Structure 1
């Protein structure tokens, strides 16, 4: 579970989905290096609630492989739509998600202000809004 904190530092948020979703792990040389959690949110729709890769393995194309695995898993499970959300300051995440076929479908203003007990920062900016992305499978 500690890997989940890389992408989501709020325990109550992780607890809100971890037992209802399905977790998938990525291993390298016998060590778990990545994780994602899929949660059915509506009929035919699944959301990637969390996707994380250990810092030492980032920048090597493994995040893209992990995301592609999530897309393929969702297809095999019969979902028609997959969704994901990320902070508006997460430029590398936004780039990766769009590179893998996701499209921005909305912004939840002040999502991180309302749902997190302490302010979060990324790339030197406070994360306030969640960018919502979706892809038809």
Structure 2
């Protein structure tokens, strides 16, 4: 990331760019279920939000990364990794012992990114996207059918 790029927590009244949120989750109804339940870190470059990452509490010791997304014009430059690592640091600081993230079987770049950030695959929910999203999702020429769940644990 360049010197002018900043990671910061979202202000409570600040709107997140809908187009960014829809990159990671194409169903606005699903996004609405966690949007206000999560704390958000944004990547900002020259006053423009180019990336987002939410962290939602699930249990006292467990949080979930929600909707990590970077504007396509800025992908592949380390912004996504910094957002994920920032969310993990926030979770560790807040006393969580484990963070999970869920993604699709067809999200090949995201699966690689999460593993580079310390996540390990723990479970697959077959046909999750087929059963929970109104329209078929395709990425990398693959239908997104199954949800892959990964976790990162901390030795606190």
Q: Which residue of 1 aligns with 2:129?
A: 112
| Aligned partner of residue 5 in structure 1, secondary structure | helix
Pair member with larger Rg: 2
Alpha-carbon distance in 1 for matches of 2:131, 2:119? 25
Q: Compute the displacement of 1:43 (Å).
A: 2.0
Q: Compute the displacement of 1:9 (Å).
A: 0.9
Q: Which residue of 2 aligns with 1:26?
A: 43
Is 1:84 matched with 2:101? yes
Is 1:53 matched with 2:67? no
Alpha-carbon distance in 2 for matches of 1:118, 1:53? 23
Q: Which residue of 1 aligns with 2:111?
A: 94
Alpha-carbon distance in 2 for matches of 1:41, 1:21? 10
Q: Compute the displacement of 1:22 (Å).
A: 1.3
TM-score, normalization by structure 2: 0.85
- Across the aligned residues of Structure 1 and Structure 2, the Cα RMSD in angstroms comes to 0.9
TM-score, normalization by structure 1: 0.96
Q: Which residue of 1 aligns with 2:58?
A: 41
Question: Structure 2: which 5+ runs fail to align?
Answer: 1-15
Instruction: Count how many residue pairs are aligned between Structure 1 and Structure 2.
Output: 137
| Aligned partner of residue 132 in structure 1, secondary structure | strand
Q: Which residue of 1 aligns with 2:88?
A: 71
